């Protein structure tokens, strides 16, 4: 009986822990195509356009992890539709690699129109970049 009660309590605690973990609407990733490796420790700013006064409001700022990823922008329950901007501050990344870059930063503006997940990655080199909507 003790094992049954313990099993039920363990199962309940695990399901509550996972049930309360926040989900996120937006993620990003940077791949340095000049090296074929993820771009680590790159500062990325997230802003939202205020449609009324046409100004940008800061929402978050994070650094990419060892895999070049940020997976937790915009908690699902707090996300609003609208126009957003990710600014990838890449100057320090290239300085740390002792590589000159044409771009001190890269801005990607996009629109969240629904409740789906948005993945906005960039591929990067010192003299070019590309972006797309991933999943």
pLDDT at residue 119, as a whole number? 94
Across 1-10, 73-82, 99-108, 117-126, least confident range: 1-10
Inter-residue contact 105 to 89 (CB < 8 Å): yes
Number of neighbours of residue 82 by Cβ within 10 angstroms: 12
From CA 91, how far away is CA 105, in angstroms rounded? 6
Q: Is the pLDDT of residue 16 over 70?
A: no
Inter-residue contact 69 to 79 (CB < 8 Å): no
- 134 or 76, which is more confident: 134
Percent of the chain with pLDDT strictly greater than 70? 83
pLDDT at residue 66, as a whole number? 97
Domains along the chain with CATH numbers: 23-131 (2.60.40.180)
pTM as predicted? 0.81
Q: Is the pLDDT of residue 7 over 70?
A: no
Q: Is the pLDDT of residue 109 over 90?
A: yes
Q: Which residues contact 108 (CB under 8 A, 6 or more apart)?
A: 85, 86, 87, 88, 120, 122, 131
Q: Which two structure tokens, joined as six digits, stand for 92?
A: 């320090």
Q: What are the beta bridge partners of residue 107? A: 87
Query: Is residue 23 very low, low, confident or very high in pLDDT (cuts 50, 70, 90)?
Result: confident
Query: Is residue 80 very low, low, confident or very high in pLDDT (cuts 50, 70, 90)?
Result: confident
Residue 8, classed as helix, strand or coil, is helix
């Amino acid at each position: 009986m003790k094992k049954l009660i313990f099993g039920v309590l363990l199962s309940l605690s695990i399901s509550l822990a996972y049930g309360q973990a926040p989900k996120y609407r937006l993620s990003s990733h940077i791949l340095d195509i000049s090296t074929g490796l993820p771009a680590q420790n790159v500062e990325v700013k997230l802003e939202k356009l205020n449609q009324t006064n046409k100004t940008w409001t800061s929402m978050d700022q994070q650094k990419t992890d060892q895999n070049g990823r940020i997976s937790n922008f915009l908690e699902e329950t707090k996300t609003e539709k609208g126009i957003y901007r990710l600014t990838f501050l890449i100057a320090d990344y290239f300085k740390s690699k002792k590589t000159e870059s044409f771009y001190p930063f890269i801005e990607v503006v996009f629109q969240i129109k629904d409740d789906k997940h948005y993945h906005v990655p960039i591929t990067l080199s010192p003299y070019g970049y590309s972006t797309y909507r991933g999943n």
